[in-house]
Amino acid sequence: MIEALEAVENADILVVGSLAYRATYTGLLKLFFDHIGQYPLVDKPVVMTATGSDRRGLLVEHQMRPLFGFFQSLTLPLSIYASESDFADYQISSPGLCKRIATAVSRTLPLVRSDSELHARLVDRPMRS
């Protein structure tokens, strides 16, 4: 579990998902994030995803967004929610879901690029005496 925690804390971006369980994310997701330090996720871009019935779409907004607010993470305004009707034979079959995924990726990549470009500029900048 230590390796998984370190991987999350050191990632450039997080894509976090859960199935809807009693109108919230699973206890296992909560337990995992209970072991993450409070500050390693500050300003880290997070794409939030969830699956469940058609009536559970707000779990991302009402449950997951506050979780990452605690960590001061940068949650994308667009989340990805999918229901059973978006899949066929365990594959994505919904054009709408594919479009939501593509939109989330296109909105997230500039955040990762700008962060790594800023880091490179700061690291590579010569020190002033």
pLDDT digits (tens, 9 = 90+) for 1-42: 899 999 999 999 999 999 988 778 999 999 999 999 989 999
Q: What is the pLDDT of the chain when averaged over all its residues? A: 86
> What pLDDT shows up at residue 120?
58
> What pLDDT shows up at residue 114?
65
The strand pair at 87-88 and 91-92 is best described as antiparallel
Whether the Cβ atoms of residue 17 and residue 33 lie closer than 8 Å to each other: no
> What pLDDT shows up at residue 124?
56
> What pLDDT shows up at residue 129?
39
Residues in the chain: 129
Nearest-angstrom CA–CA distance, 41 and 75: 11
75 is written with which tokens? 């949650």
1 is written with which tokens? 């579990």
Residue 70 has pLDDT above 60, yes or no: yes
